[in-house]
């Protein structure tokens, strides 16, 4: 008996049914701790008590005599581990007297049924049943333990599956079931109460099988399990459901709350977009194309909800706390929503002194210890921001041109810079609508800036010119955005030159406003200047470009290219790849936790009036721009790191170079580190795929695999189903490329754009998310121009986000940049199914070794004085792709999946 003084209340509702589970028929069908299928009878010499017990078993009324009267049996012992709620585990709370309550259930906590790989002589499944009994709470590993004994006939054959019925009134999280004959069922899944879902849960052993290799006794279960996950596309989903289905993004707007919050549906011909998980909520009464919203987290299939049992969802809980407690608190105390920062010193005070706020509700300081500091008195607390690494090392780094360019290679958004291959620079937009297509950045401007180095023609030929090009993506939204309050927008191009030292030097920034009803196109080119007015205009032009880059980073490089495009992969994997499919088991670590954080994003980040719309320049048009980027720019075949670099002109194929690529910019920290990580992932995928598919014909004959890939292309990314660039799936190399890309996007790509957010953007002048005012020289009044001339610093501060916008973004970025205490880093943990196969285990150990070497390589690169883009006075070392990290905001660490 556990110590009776331990708090006995926390698990009562989880461990005990609210009603006797053996009433209304159960008493006559499940009256013993062991039950057997019709084909299994106890030895005739068994005790009368045992025979009587068997006569009342589940199949009592159906048992028929068999011709083998002396069938011997072996006792197989099973141990089930159940994960308690995280709050209970953290508090060290036991169940105490609840064990007495469990004993009242006569050991009937879970009904388990072993299933043989073989069919019996009549072609039917062979099964053996037993009830599990509660054993103990293991404080060391924070799991509840249950045990059961199965009497298994000697001719039962190999055990391949287990069926579970949860007799409790609450869902329970099964970690694993281990039999003493060396068979393990790794569950990691919620099992609903039989009162919520009467269907038995199916779990398969850790041994992987291709569909064609499935043992006869498991074939029907394999298909039945996947059918249960697909659903029928009808009805509103409940939290206990495990249904994976597709829908368009029709739940970002809230027209029932206000017509100003209506938003177009993303997904379809008008606004192409990946699909999300279907929730089935009722449609809006004011907009029949929009789904209604809820104040609670949106539905995700129950196995995607880890919030109750995993600290890895600390980030999701912390983000929820920021969005629903800190952000409203800041909103309440900053009454003037348009008020900016009057001085740069005022910005510094956010880190030195913080903001006094009313004391938050209980628990918030525990969830957000970096953000919510100790109470000033009994009434107030302090929201105080940590000094970001970039500013901590160099207070003025954000002001410098070289850092402006360096961060395009070693900063938060290294995905956009591209090689200039054609001249002159021109737009592809309709000149009748948007004005002249040719850029204002002329040959003369370029050669004036690179005088003494080379001509424009030489710079193009030698691959020395690079740019950020946000002109055509943003220009269609400039006039619409300018109609919104408190923001502005331009189309922009930023041109840079690769110097002999391997660093980038800015040459010119072009800002464009298209024609409107009463004004012609406005276009201006800014260059680094040596006079006071020109120098301040250049600084303000950089702020405009950084606001564009911030929006593109968050909407495209981050949300679209990682979170959003991964959701169809997750849905298709659960609908078409069985638990026992080796490719599902390869991908699963890279798919965990993502749907839950995506649902939270739809709830409060990318929704109408959410953080993105409130604090980024495009405002209400943010997600439409995201849709345009998907339509115009996203291609699966260019999402692998090598293909992405080649598509932007940052690399060319070269079999004589490391990784088979020659980089256009040799000192490109993101690419240099990323290619080592990419190679390790691809080698691991190669070993894994070739083990299970030694011949190419096994790929095309794998029905589950072909259906999975077909549904990803034609449904999950259905708006691009007819694109010719989709990879075929016919050979091992095809499959290796596909799975490597998915694994990379969920791990390396996401880490590169996520975990540096606070370090690079926590001091918002370095990466302002919004430009609130137009350039001083764009059609100014005399008063506006004189105001700029007298106090140019004021003009820059007015352009930056307001106080409420800045503090809201900083609060969110702090959480998004944090690693949870039990983060699951790439290569850090071997999945049980991999460990069960010696060849796969050896390949994984090789993978882990490659990642450990990568840690040391990155460290050595960051102290190499020849690498000016990562080593130098005041520079933050580039370590976003170092695989491992401690908890918190560390600026490094590559988790397996998108968990925040």
The percentage of the chain sitting over the pLDDT mark of 90, rounded to a whole number, equals 76
User: How confident is the model at residue 271, as a pLDDT?
Assistant: 98
Count the Cβ atoms, other than its own, within 10 Å of residue 294: 12
Helices (H) and strands (E) in the chain, counts: 35, 21
User: How confident is the model at residue 296, as a pLDDT?
Assistant: 80
Which band of pLDDT confidence, cut at 50, 70 and 90, is reported for residue 676? very high
Asked if residue 298 lies in contact with residue 259, where contact means CB atoms within 8 angstroms, the answer is no
For residue 205, pLDDT over 80 is answered with: yes
User: How confident is the model at residue 457, as a pLDDT?
Assistant: 97
User: How confident is the model at residue 379, as a pLDDT?
Assistant: 61
Count the Cβ atoms, other than its own, within 10 Å of residue 804: 22
Cα 216 versus chain centre, distance: 37
For residue 19, pLDDT over 50 is answered with: no
Nearest to 886 by CA among 827, 818, 810: 818
User: How confident is the model at residue 312, as a pLDDT?
Assistant: 53
For residue 518, pLDDT over 90 is answered with: no
Radius of gyration of the chain (CA): 30
User: How confident is the model at residue 365, as a pLDDT?
Assistant: 63
Q: What is the spatial order of strands in the sheet that 522-526 belongs to?
A: 418-419, 465-469, 491-498, 504-513, 522-526
Which sequence positions are flagged as catalytic? 558, 563, 750, 754, 900
User: How confident is the model at residue 8, as a pLDDT?
Assistant: 33
pLDDT in tens, 422-454: 999 999 999 999 999 999 999 999 999 998 889
Q: Taking residues 864-880, report their average pLDDT.
A: 96
pLDDT in tens, 235-262: 999 988 999 999 999 999 999 999 999 9
Q: In 787-797, which positions are buried (b, 16+ CB within 10 angstroms) versus exposed (e)?
A: bbeeebeebbb
User: How confident is the model at residue 34, as a pLDDT?
Assistant: 34
Asked if residue 205 lies in contact with residue 161, where contact means CB atoms within 8 angstroms, the answer is yes
For residue 376, pLDDT over 70 is answered with: no
Asked if residue 303 lies in contact with residue 277, where contact means CB atoms within 8 angstroms, the answer is no
Give the burial class of 401: count Cβ atoms within 10 A of its Cβ; 0-12 exposed, 13-18 middle, 19 or more buried: middle
Angle of helix 344-352 relative to helix 803-816, nearest 10 degrees, comes to 40
User: How confident is the model at residue 357, as a pLDDT?
Assistant: 74
Asked if residue 549 lies in contact with residue 416, where contact means CB atoms within 8 angstroms, the answer is yes
Residue 313's contacts (CB-CB under 8 Å, 6 or more residues apart) are 306, 307, 593, 596, 820, 899
Q: Taking residues 860-884, report their average pLDDT.
A: 96
Asked if residue 595 lies in contact with residue 899, where contact means CB atoms within 8 angstroms, the answer is no
Which of 47-56, 157-166, 543-552 is predicted with the least confidence, judged by mean pLDDT? 47-56
Residue 368's contacts (CB-CB under 8 Å, 6 or more residues apart) are 318, 321, 322, 326, 815
Return d(Cα 600, Cα 298) in angstroms, integer: 7
User: How confident is the model at residue 137, as a pLDDT?
Assistant: 82
Asked if residue 753 lies in contact with residue 549, where contact means CB atoms within 8 angstroms, the answer is no
| Backbone phi, psi, residue 466, to 5° | -135, 160
Nearest to 526 by CA among 459, 615, 410, 445: 445
Return d(Cα 401, Cα 94) in angstroms, integer: 59
Q: Which segment, 73-87, 204-218, 337-351, is predicted with the most confidence on average?
A: 204-218
The terminus-to-terminus CA distance of the chain in angstroms comes to 40
What average pLDDT does the chain have?
88
Which tokens is 351 given? 């880190």
- Across-strand partners of 148? 78
**Which H or E element spans position 590?**
helix 582-591
User: How confident is the model at residue 571, as a pLDDT?
Assistant: 98
For the chain, the helix, strand and coil percentages under 3-state DSSP, each to the nearest 5: 40, 15, 45
Which of 24-28, 225-229, 825-829, 831-835 is predicted with the least confidence, judged by mean pLDDT? 24-28
| Half-sphere exposure for 354 (CA within 13 Å, toward CB) | 18
Which band of pLDDT confidence, cut at 50, 70 and 90, is reported for residue 827? very high
Nearest to 215 by CA among 156, 154, 153: 156
Nearest to 681 by CA among 591, 595, 587, 755: 587
pLDDT in tens, 328-372: 777 777 778 889 999 999 999 999 888 877 766 555 666 666 777
**Strands annotated E in 201-305:** 201-204, 246-247, 276-277
φ/ψ region of 797 (left if φ > 0, alpha if ψ in -120 to 50, else beta) reads alpha
Nearest to 626 by CA among 644, 605, 645: 605
259: which DSSP letter? Answer: G
User: How confident is the model at residue 315, as a pLDDT?
Assistant: 60
Q: Is the peptide bond before 682 cis (omega within 30 degrees of 0)?
A: no
| Backbone phi, psi, residue 766, to 5° | -70, -35
**Strands annotated E in 453-501:** 465-469, 491-498
| pTM of the entire predicted model | 0.89
Count the Cβ atoms, other than its own, within 10 Å of residue 757: 26
pLDDT in tens, 683-702: 999 999 999 999 999 999 99
User: How confident is the model at residue 33, as a pLDDT?
Assistant: 32
Which band of pLDDT confidence, cut at 50, 70 and 90, is reported for residue 90? very low
Task: Kindly list the distances between the CA atom of residue 111 and the CA atoms of 13, 134, 173, 284, in Å, as whole numbers in the listed order.
Answer: 19, 12, 15, 43
Which tokens is 153 given? 């006939």
Return d(Cα 91, Cα 766) in angstroms, integer: 41
Asked if residue 54 lies in contact with residue 36, where contact means CB atoms within 8 angstroms, the answer is yes
**Strands annotated E in 501-658:** 504-513, 522-526, 651-653
Give the burial class of 623: count Cβ atoms within 10 A of its Cβ; 0-12 exposed, 13-18 middle, 19 or more buried: buried
User: How confident is the model at residue 441, as a pLDDT?
Assistant: 98
Return d(Cα 553, Cα 753) in angstroms, integer: 8
Angle of helix 838-861 relative to helix 669-692, nearest 10 degrees, comes to 170
Which of 131-135, 484-488, 544-548 is predicted with the least confidence, judged by mean pLDDT? 131-135
**Strands annotated E in 672-736:** none
pLDDT in tens, 699-726: 999 999 999 999 999 999 999 999 999 9
pLDDT in tens, 214-237: 999 999 999 999 999 998 999 999
Asked if residue 311 lies in contact with residue 820, where contact means CB atoms within 8 angstroms, the answer is yes
Count the Cβ atoms, other than its own, within 10 Å of residue 530: 6
User: How confident is the model at residue 6, as a pLDDT?
Assistant: 32
């Amino acid at each position: 008996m556990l110590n009776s003084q331990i708090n006995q209340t926390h698990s009562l509702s989880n461990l005990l049914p609210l009603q006797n589970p053996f009433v209304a028929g159960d008493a006559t069908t499940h009256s013993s701790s062991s039950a057997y299928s019709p084909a299994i009878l106890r030895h005739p010499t068994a005790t009368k008590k045992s025979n009587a017990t068997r006569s009342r078993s589940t199949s009592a009324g159906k048992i028929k005599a068999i011709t083998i009267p002396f069938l011997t049996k072996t006792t197989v012992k099973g141990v089930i581990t159940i994960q308690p709620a995280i709050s209970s585990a953290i508090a060290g709370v036991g169940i105490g007297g609840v064990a007495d309550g469990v004993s009242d259930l006569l050991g009937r906590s879970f009904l388990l049924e072993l299933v043989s790989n073989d069919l019996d002589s009549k072609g039917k499944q062979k099964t053996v049943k037993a009830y599990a009994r509660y054993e103990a709470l293991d404080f060391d590993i924070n799991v509840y333990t249950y045990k059961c004994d199965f009497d298994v006939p000697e001719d039962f054959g190999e055990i391949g599956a287990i069926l579970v019925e949860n007799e409790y009134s609450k869902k329970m999280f099964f970690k694993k079931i281990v039999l003493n004959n060396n068979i393990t069922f790794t569950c990691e899944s919620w099992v609903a109460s039989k009162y919520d879902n009467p269907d038995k849960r199916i779990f398969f052993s850790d041994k992987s099988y291709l569909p064609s290799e499935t043992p006869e006794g498991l074939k029907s279960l394999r298909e039945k399990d996947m059918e249960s996950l697909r659903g029928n596309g009808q009805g509103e989903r409940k939290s206990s459901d495990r249904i994976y289905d597709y829908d368009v993004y029709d739940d970002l707007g809230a027209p029932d709350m206000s017509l100003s919050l209506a938003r177009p549906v993303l997904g379809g011909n008008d606004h192409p977009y990946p699909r999300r998980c279907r929730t089935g909520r009722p449609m809006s009464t004011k907009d029949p194309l929009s789904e209604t919203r809820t104040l609670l987290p949106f539905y995700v299939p129950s196995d995607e909800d880890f919030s109750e049992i995993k600290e890895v969802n600390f980030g999701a809980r912390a983000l929820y706390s920021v969005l629903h407690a800190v952000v409203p608190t800041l909103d309440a105390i900053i009454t003037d929503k348009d008020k900016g920062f009057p001085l740069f010193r005022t910005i510094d005070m956010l880190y030195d002194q913080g903001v006094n706020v009313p004391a938050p509700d209980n628990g918030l300081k525990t969830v957000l210890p970096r953000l919510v500091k100790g109470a000033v008195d009994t009434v107030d607390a302090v929201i105080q921001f940590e000094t970001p690494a970039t500013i901590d090392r160099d207070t003025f780094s954000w002001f410098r041109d070289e850092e402006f360019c360096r961060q395009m290679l070693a900063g938060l958004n290294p995905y956009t810079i591209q090689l200039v291959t054609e001249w002159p620079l021109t737009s592809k937009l309709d000149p009748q609508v948007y004005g002249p297509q040719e850029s204002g950045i002329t040959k003369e401007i370029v050669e004036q800036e690179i005088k003494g180095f080379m001509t424009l023609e030489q710079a193009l030929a030698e691959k020395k010119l690079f740019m950020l090009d946000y002109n055509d993506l943003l220009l269609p939204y400039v006039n619409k955005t300018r109609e919104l309050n408190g923001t502005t927008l331009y189309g922009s191009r930023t041109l840079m030159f690769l110097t002999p030292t391997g660093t980038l030097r800015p040459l010119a920034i072009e800002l464009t406003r298209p024609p409107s009803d009463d004004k012609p196109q406005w276009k201006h080119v800014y260059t680094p200047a040596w006079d006071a007015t020109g120098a301040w205009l250049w600084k303000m032009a950089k702020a405009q470009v950084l606001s564009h880059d911030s929006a593109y980073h968050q909407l495209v490089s981050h949300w679209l290219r990682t979170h959003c495009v991964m959701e169809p992969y997750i849905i298709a994997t659960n609908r078409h790849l069985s638990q026992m499919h080796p490719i599902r088991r390869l991908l699963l670590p890279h798919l965990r936790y993502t749907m839950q954080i995506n649902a939270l994003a739809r709830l409060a980040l990318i929704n109408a009036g959410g953080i993105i719309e409130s604090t980024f320049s495009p405002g209400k048009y943010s997600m439409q721009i995201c849709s345009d980027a998907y339509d115009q720019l996203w291609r699966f075949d260019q999402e692998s790191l090598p293909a992405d670099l080649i598509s932007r002109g940052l690399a060319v194929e070269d079999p004589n170079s490391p990784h088979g690529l020659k980089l256009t910019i040799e000192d490109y920290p993101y690419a240099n580190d990323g290619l080592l990580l990419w190679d390790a992932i691809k080698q691991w995928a190669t070993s894994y795929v070739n083990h299970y598919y030694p011949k190419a014909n096994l790929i095309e004959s794998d029905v589950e695999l072909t259906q999975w890939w077909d549904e990803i292309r034609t449904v999950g990314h259905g708006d691009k189903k007819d694109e010719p660039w989709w990879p075929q799936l016919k050979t091992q190399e095809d499959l290796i490329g596909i799975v490597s890309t998915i694994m990379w996007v969920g791990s390396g790509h996401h880490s590169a754009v996520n975990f540096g957010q606070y370090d690079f953007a926590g001091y918002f002048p370095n990466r302002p998310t919004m430009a609130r005012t137009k350039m001083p020289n764009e059609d100014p009044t005399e008063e506006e121009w004189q105001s700029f001339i007298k106090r140019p610093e004021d003009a820059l501060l007015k352009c930056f986000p307001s106080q409420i916008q800045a503090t809201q973004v900083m609060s969110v970025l702090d959480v998004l940049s944090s690693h949870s205490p039990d983060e699951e880093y790439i290569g850090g943990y071997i999945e049980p199914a991999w460990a069960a196969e010696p060849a796969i285990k050896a390949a994984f150990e090789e993978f882990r070794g490659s990642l450990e070497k990568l840690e040391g390589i990155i460290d050595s690169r960051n102290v190499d004085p020849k690498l000016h883009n990562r080593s130098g006075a005041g520079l933050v070392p580039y370590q976003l792709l170092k695989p491992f990290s401690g908890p918190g905001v560390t600026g490094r660490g590559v988790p397996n999946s998108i968990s925040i």
